[in-house]
Amino acid sequence: MHSFELDKKDVQKVKAALAEGQDAIETLLRDYHPSEIAILFEGLEKEEREVIINLLDSAQASEVLSEMAEETHPEELLLNLDPEKRTGIVEELDYDDATDLISQLDKEEQNEILDELNEEDASHIRSLLNYPEDTAGGLMNTRVIKIPAVLYKKDAIDEIIRQSEDMEEFYTVYVVDQKDIFQGIVSLKDIIKSRPEARIADLVVKDAVFVHHDTDQEEVARLISQYNLSSIPVVDQHMKLLGRVTFDDVIDVLEEENTEDILKISGVSEDEELSGNWKEAVKSRLPWLVINLGTAFLASSVVRYFEPTIARIAVLSAYMTIIAGMGGNAATQALAVTVRRISLYDLTDNQAYRTVLKEFTVGLINGAVTGLIVFLFALFFDMNTMLGVVIFLAMTGNLIIAGVTGAGIPLVLKRVGIDPAIASSIIITTFTDVFGFLFLLGLASQLLL
Residue 377 binds to its own copies (criterion: CB under 8 A):
yes
Given a contact cutoff of 8 angstroms between Cβ atoms, the answer to whether 297 and 315 are in contact is no
Which of 16, 51, 205, 293 binds its own copies (CB under 8 A)? It is 293
147-155, 175-183, 237-245, 346-354 -> range binding its own copies (CB under 8 A): 346-354
Which of the residues 76 through 115 are near its own copies (CB under 8 A)? none
Among 35, 58, 103, 111, binds its own copies (CB under 8 A): 35
Interface region with its own copies, contact rule CB under 8 A, candidates 112-120, 125-133, 198-206, 255-263 = 255-263
- Nearest by Cα to 40 from 67, 20, 63, 11: 11
Rule CB under 8 A: say whether 433 interacts with its own copies.
yes
Residues with Cβ within 8 Å of residue 97, at least 6 apart in sequence: 62, 65, 66, 141
Q: Interface with its own copies includes 210 (CB under 8 A)? A: yes
- Site for its own copies contains 254 (CB under 8 A): yes
- Which one of the spans 39-47, 84-92, 174-182, 386-394 is the region binding its own copies (CB under 8 A)? 39-47
Q: With CB under 8 A as the contact rule, which of the stretches 73-81, 116-124, 195-203, 315-323 interacts with its own copies?
A: 315-323
**Closest CB to its own copies among residues 81, 97:** 97
Report if residue 340 touches its own copies, rule: CB under 8 A. yes
Q: Give the shortest CB-86-to-its own copies separation in angstroms.
A: 23
Measured between alpha carbons, how far is residue 435 from residues 135, 323, 398, 448 in Å? 43, 10, 6, 19
Q: Rule CB under 8 A: which of 149-208 touch its own copies?
A: 157, 160-161, 164, 169-171, 187-189, 192-193
Q: Please, what is the minimum distance in Å from the beta carbon of residue 201 to its own copies?
A: 21
Q: Is position 384 an interface residue for its own copies (rule: CB under 8 A)?
A: no
9, 195, 238, 278: which one binds its own copies (CB under 8 A): 278
Kindly identify the residues of this chain, within the stretch 257-276, that bind its own copies according to CB under 8 A: 258-259, 261-263, 265-268, 272, 274-275
- Which CB, 34 or 81, lies closer to its own copies? 34
**430 near 335, Cβ under 8 Å?**
no
Query: Under the criterion CB under 8 A, does residue 330 sit at the interface with its own copies?
Result: yes
Q: Given candidates 28, 105, 114, 322, which one binds its own copies under the rule CB under 8 A?
A: 322
In this complex, which beta carbon is closest to its own copies, that of residue 95 or of residue 210? 210
CB of 280 to its own copies, least distance (A): 9
In angstroms, give the least distance from the CB of 85 to its own copies: 24
**Cβ atoms of residues 371 and 393 within 8 Å:** yes
Instruction: Please tell me the distance from the alpha carbon of residue 170 to that of residue 173, in angstroms, as a whole number.
Output: 8
Q: Using the rule CB under 8 A, give the single segment among 53-61, 82-90, 111-119, 321-329 that binds its own copies.
A: 321-329
Q: What's the Cα-to-Cα distance from 334 to each of 264, 265, 343, 372, 394, rounded to whole Å?
A: 15, 12, 14, 21, 19
Binding its own copies (rule: CB under 8 A), the pick from 289, 386, 418, 447 is 289
**Cβ proximity to its own copies, 130 vs 283, nearer residue:** 283
**CA separation, residue 224 to residues 136, 247, 249, 253, 254 (Å):** 12, 7, 10, 11, 11
The mark string for 60-79 relative to its own copies (x by CB under 8 A, - otherwise) is: -------x-x-x--------
Q: Which stretch binds its own copies (CB under 8 A): 19-27, 38-46, 104-112, 119-127?
A: 38-46
**Residues written for the chain:** 449
Closest distance of CB 71 from its own copies, Å: 7
Q: Of the listed pieces 53-61, 125-133, 196-204, 311-319, which binds its own copies according to CB under 8 A?
A: 311-319
Whichever of 122 and 337 has its CB closer to its own copies, that residue is 337
